[in-house]
């Protein structure tokens, strides 16, 4: 039976939800507002939420001073490339773990996840040296590989969870019908797990897009994505908050829009299998 | 062709031997039913034949060729699963055509075979629907259609009717039997329902704890159970098994009498009080507490008018008493 909710309780819950949402969204809002301020208004004390001298100059200057389209394109290549490569590796891996598990599959999954708990800085020097030796610094392929490996545990885990929901009898039927492993995955498993795969793709595109640590360390100019573009606006002479905010807004806008339009799919994917 | 031979087939999961050692020959065109209680290994045995599980030891031959290490697709068998196992994202047409597509058949050939299977199974008007839009019986027919188009050397059925309601089960049972008569292809059918086994099979294989207890025709098993387990398992209602002094009178450790082989007869050797009386019109099922023996099930005619608490005399029919020794095996 549904629980009766009084109008007063509903109003309070709504107010609480809006308050929490505002607290979470406030830094982003502040950044967007600052991007339209002049530099003096941006650092004014006490801080002003709104200002009288709104300007688009920051955007114009950021656009002129740097090659935004190239950074944007690099971000697209790295986030999509690493996610698609990750899916290509993770789908067969998750299939094996979900449908032909060994004695140590659970341990393997936990170990994979544990690598995400390792501080990235701990492997910074070795990874940098490996990349240097293999001439992968500031290359698309190098960054795609690095980001793919970084997010692979999450991709495998998510896919494993979705695949576990698919009855193994359907895959056995495909095997009886003459499908080998790859046809079974291509014709039966993947179409059936498509909602889950789409959620995994979206989440990992967002994670890869927002990745700053490795993209800044392993790139200089050619393969640098939007995270490096933002970092380029923190000059040794000091921070130019308005321009930095304009650059940051330009960097997050595409992924924010993608997230906005795909939020239903994302929530559905992330809660998949939580409730039967 | 569709002769399947199992030679010393053994299957263990870890330390547990689910199937210790099985030898069995299924002749071409036979309808064989594996029957037994839950956990007896009947589904595992079917999956071993299908190639969905690997044997731990032994050999499986299909039409004289060693198929032990062949993958499922290469064995030339088709399987119908309990849960139908249809591809939910494909239409009925695509579901049925899937094995043909995997075999690399042209679309025109696929369509011809799909139409033929759909006609046999009355699915023609449902070809463009998805499995989710079909009833349980229709889904099971699609699963059978998918099996038919492959023209396999044998069909394997894993409890295919257990998800259907009672009425549909009876009609599907008849459809599968008719299909066997039409196709004349070997069929191996797993069930725990001995009524299905009795009505459909040419040959029944009774399994218990991974071992074959008896192989024979339905009536052979009914009239000549090889041991106490088969005697108790085959037949509905179950055979009455009596031990102790009454069995000793017949020179056995246990004797068995089927409920339909006990008459209500004044002056019969067994006297008792009626505990439960179920009147079905055609039959009357009685539970009688017999003095010195215990509870016996009796299947009497519909006209019998005994009620709870009535006293009655019972007599087993001559020549209908099955005798079993201390090892549980039937005595000659």
Tell me: pLDDT of A38 over 90: no
Every domain range in chain B assigned CATH 2.40.50.140: 241-324
CA distance A198 to A207: 14
Instruction: Say whether A142 sits in a helix, a strand or coil.
Output: helix
Distance from A186 to chain B by nearest Cα, in Å? 12
On whether both A16 and A85 belong to a single domain, the answer is no
Q: Is A273 at the interface with chain B, CB within 8 A?
A: no
Using a CB-CB cut-off of 8 Å, the residues of chain B touching A178 are: 73, 99, 102-103, 150
Tell me: pLDDT of A243 over 90: no
On whether both A11 and A134 belong to a single domain, the answer is no
Q: What is the pLDDT of residues B105-120, one digit of tens each?
A: 999 999 999 999 999 8
Tokens at residue B40, please?
Answer: 């007896």
**In whole angstroms, what separates CA A258 from the centre of its chain?**
11
CB A244 within 8 A of CB A234: yes
Q: Is residue A274 part of a domain?
A: no
Q: Is residue A263 part of a domain?
A: no
Across the interface, whether the CB atoms of B73 and A177 are under 8 A apart is answered yes
Every domain range in chain B assigned CATH 3.40.50.300: 4-229
Report the residue of A173, A182, A193, A195 to disrupt the B interface, i.e. the one with the largest count of B CBs within 10 Å. Answer: A173
Q: Of A43, A59, A75, which one is at a domain's C-terminal end? A: A59
Tokens at residue A94, please?
Answer: 């998750």
pTM: 0.80
On whether both A226 and A144 belong to a single domain, the answer is yes
Looking at residue A273, its pLDDT comes to: 47
What is the number of structural domains in chain A? 2
Looking at residue B31, its pLDDT comes to: 96
Confidence at A275, pLDDT banded by 50, 70, 90: very low
Using a CB-CB cut-off of 8 Å, the residues of chain A touching B82 are: 169
CB B211 within 8 A of CB B24: no
Q: Is A137 at the interface with chain B, CB within 8 A?
A: no
- Closest residue on chain B to A169 (Cα): B85
Q: Is residue A241 part of a domain?
A: no
Across the interface, whether the CB atoms of B81 and A183 are under 8 A apart is answered no
What is the domain-level CATH number for residue A93?
1.10.3720.10
CA distance B201 to B129: 33
Using a CB-CB cut-off of 8 Å, the residues of chain B touching A194 are: 89
Residues within 8 A of B (CB atoms), A 143-202 only: 167, 169-170, 172-180, 183, 187-188, 191-192, 194
- Closest residue on chain B to A184 (Cα): B102
Using a CB-CB cut-off of 8 Å, the residues of chain A touching B103 are: 178
With tokens 């210790």, the residue in question is: B20
- Closest residue on chain B to A173 (Cα): B85
Residues within 8 A of A (CB atoms), B 62-91 only: 71-73, 77-79, 81-83, 85-89
Q: Would you tell me which CATH number, out of the four given (3.40.190.80, 3.40.718.10, 3.40.50.300, 3.40.50.2300), belongs to the domain B4-229?
A: 3.40.50.300
Looking at residue A196, its pLDDT comes to: 87
Looking at residue B32, its pLDDT comes to: 96
Query: Side by side, which strands form the sheet with B203-208?
Result: B77-80, B154-158, B186-191, B31-35, B203-208, B211-216
Across the interface, whether the CB atoms of A179 and B102 are under 8 A apart is answered yes
Q: Is B146 at the interface with chain A, CB within 8 A?
A: yes
Beta pairing, strands B254-257 & B240-243: antiparallel
For chain B, counts of helices (H) and of strands (E): 9, 18
On whether both A12 and A99 belong to a single domain, the answer is no
On whether both A94 and A168 belong to a single domain, the answer is yes
Distance from B314 to chain A by nearest Cα, in Å? 51
Across the interface, whether the CB atoms of A173 and B150 are under 8 A apart is answered no
Which parts of chain B sit beneath pLDDT 50? Answer: none
Q: What is the pLDDT of residues B19-37, one digit of tens each?
A: 999 999 999 999 999 999 9
Q: What is the pLDDT of residues A102-111, one digit of tens each?
A: 889 999 999 9
Report the residue of B52, B76, B162 to disrupt the A interface, i.e. the one with the largest count of A CBs within 10 Å. Answer: B52
CB neighbourhood size of B64 (10 A): 9
Instruction: Say whether A44 sits in a helix, a strand or coil.
Output: coil
Across the interface, whether the CB atoms of B81 and A192 are under 8 A apart is answered no
Q: In 3D, which of B306, B316, B226 has the Cα closest to residue B262?
A: B316
Of B50, B86, B103, which has the smallest distance from its Cβ to A176's Cβ?
B50
Distant-in-sequence, close-in-space partners of A144: CB < 8 Å, separation ≥ 6: A77, A78, A81, A82, A85
On whether both A40 and A131 belong to a single domain, the answer is no
Across the interface, whether the CB atoms of A180 and B78 are under 8 A apart is answered no
On whether both A37 and A78 belong to a single domain, the answer is no
Instruction: Say whether B275 sits in a helix, a strand or coil.
Output: strand
Q: In 3D, which of A189, A195, A206 has the Cα closest to residue A256?
A: A206
CB contacts < 8 A, A to B, total: 59
> How far, in Å, are B155, B157, B180, B183 from residue B119 at the CA level?
19, 21, 16, 14
Q: What is the pLDDT of residues B285-308, one digit of tens each?
A: 999 999 989 999 999 998 888 999
CA distance B332 to B325: 10
Q: Is residue A184 part of a domain?
A: yes
Across the interface, whether the CB atoms of A177 and B102 are under 8 A apart is answered yes
Report the residue of B15, B47, B73 to disrupt the A interface, i.e. the one with the largest count of A CBs within 10 Å. Answer: B73
Task: Return the sign of the alpha-carbon dihedral for residues B282, B288, B294, B295.
Answer: positive
Per the prediction, chain A carries an average pLDDT of 87
Confidence at A276, pLDDT banded by 50, 70, 90: very low
**In DSSP terms, which residues pair with B278 in a beta bridge?**
B285
CA distance B149 to A97: 32
On whether both A188 and A223 belong to a single domain, the answer is yes
What range does the domain containing A167 cover? 67-232
Of A172, A178, A187, which has the smallest distance from its Cβ to B103's Cβ?
A178
On whether both A157 and A93 belong to a single domain, the answer is yes
- Give me the CATH topology for the region B241-324: OB fold (Dihydrolipoamide Acetyltransferase, E2P) (2.40.50)
Q: What is the pLDDT of residues A101-144, one digit of tens each?
A: 988 999 999 999 888 888 888 888 998 999 999 998 989 999 99
Across the interface, whether the CB atoms of A176 and B87 are under 8 A apart is answered no
Across the interface, whether the CB atoms of B98 and A174 are under 8 A apart is answered yes
Using a CB-CB cut-off of 8 Å, the residues of chain B touching A170 are: 85-88
Q: What is the pLDDT of residues B42-61, one digit of tens each?
A: 999 999 999 999 999 999 99
Q: Is residue A244 part of a domain?
A: no
Q: Is residue A246 part of a domain?
A: no
Tokens at residue A204, please?
Answer: 């990992």
């Amino acid at each position: 039976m549904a629980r009766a909710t009084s109008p007063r309780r509903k109003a309070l819950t709504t107010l609480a939800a809006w308050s929490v949402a505002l607290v979470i969204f406030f830094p982003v809002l502040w950044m967007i507002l600052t991007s339209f301020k002049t530099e003096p208004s941006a650092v004014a004390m006490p801080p002003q939420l709104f200002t009288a001298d709104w300007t688009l100059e920051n955007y114009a200057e950021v656009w002129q001073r740097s090659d935004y389209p190239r950074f944007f394109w690099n971000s697209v290549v790295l986030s999509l490339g690493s996610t698609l490569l990750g899916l290509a590796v993770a789908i067969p891996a998750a299939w094996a773990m979900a449908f032909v598990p060994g004695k140590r599959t659970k341990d393997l999954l936990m170990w994979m996840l544990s690598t995400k708990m390792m501080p990235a800085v701990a492997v910074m020097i070795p990874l940098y040296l490996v990349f240097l030796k293999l001439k992968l610094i500031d290359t698309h392929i190098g960054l795609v590989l690095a980001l793919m490996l970084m997010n692979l545990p999450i991709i495998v885990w998510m896919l494993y969870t979705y695949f576990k929901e698919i009855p193994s009898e359907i895959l056995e039927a495909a095997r009886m019908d003459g499908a080998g492993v790859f046809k079974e995955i291509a014709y039966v498993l993947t179409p059936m797990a498509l909602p889950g795969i789409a959620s995994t793709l979206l989440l990992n595109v967002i994670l890869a897009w927002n990745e700053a640590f490795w993209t800044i360390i392993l790139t200089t100019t050619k393969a640098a994505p939007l995270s490096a573009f933002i970092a380029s606006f923190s000059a040794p002479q000091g921070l130019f908050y308005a321009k930095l905010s304009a650059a940051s807004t330009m960097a997050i806008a595409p992924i924010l829009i993608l997230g906005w339009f795909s939020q239903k799919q994302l929530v559905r994917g992330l809660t998949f299998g939580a409730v039967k | 062709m569709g002769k399947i031979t199992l030679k010393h087939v053994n299957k263990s999961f870890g330390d547990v031997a689910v199937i210790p050692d099985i030898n069995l020959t299924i002749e071409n065109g036979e309808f064989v039913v594996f029957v037994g209680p839950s956990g007896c290994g009947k589904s595992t045995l079917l999956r071993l034949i299908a190639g969905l599980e690997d044997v731990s030891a032994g050999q499986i031959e299909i039409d004289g060729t060693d198929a032990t290490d062949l993958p499922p697709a290469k064995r030339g068998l088709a399987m119908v699963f309990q849960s139908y196992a249809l591809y939910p994202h494909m239409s009925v047409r695509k579901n049925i055509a899937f094995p043909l597509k995997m075999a690399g058949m042209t679309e025109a050939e696929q369509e011809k075979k799909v139409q033929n299977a759909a006609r046999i199974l009355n699915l023609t008007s449902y070809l463009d629907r998805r499995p989710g839009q079909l009833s349980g019986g229709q889904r099971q027919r699609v699963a059978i259609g998918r099996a038919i188009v492959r023209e396999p050397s044998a069909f394997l059925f894993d409890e295919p009717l257990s998800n259907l309601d009672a009425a549909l089960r009876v009609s599907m049972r008849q459809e599968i039997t008719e299909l066997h008569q039409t196709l004349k292809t070997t069929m191996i059918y797993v069930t725990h329902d001995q009524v299905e086994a009795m009505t459909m099979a040419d040959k029944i294989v009774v399994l218990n704890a991974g071992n074959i207890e008896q192989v024979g025709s339905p009536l052979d098993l009914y009239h000549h159970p090889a041991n106490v387990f088969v005697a108790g398992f085959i037949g509905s209602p179950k055979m009455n098994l009596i031990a102790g002094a009454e069995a000793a009178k017949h020179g056995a450790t246990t004797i068995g009498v089927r409920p339909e082989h006990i008459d209500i007869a004044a002056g019969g050797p067994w006297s008792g009080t009626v505990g439960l009386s179920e009147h079905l019109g055609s039959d009357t099922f009685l539970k009688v507490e017999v003095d010195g023996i215990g509870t016996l099930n009796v299947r009497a005619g519909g006209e019998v008018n005994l009620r709870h608490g009535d006293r009655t005399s019972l007599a087993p029919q001559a020549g209908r008493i099955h005798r079993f020794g201390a090892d549980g095996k039937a005595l000659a």
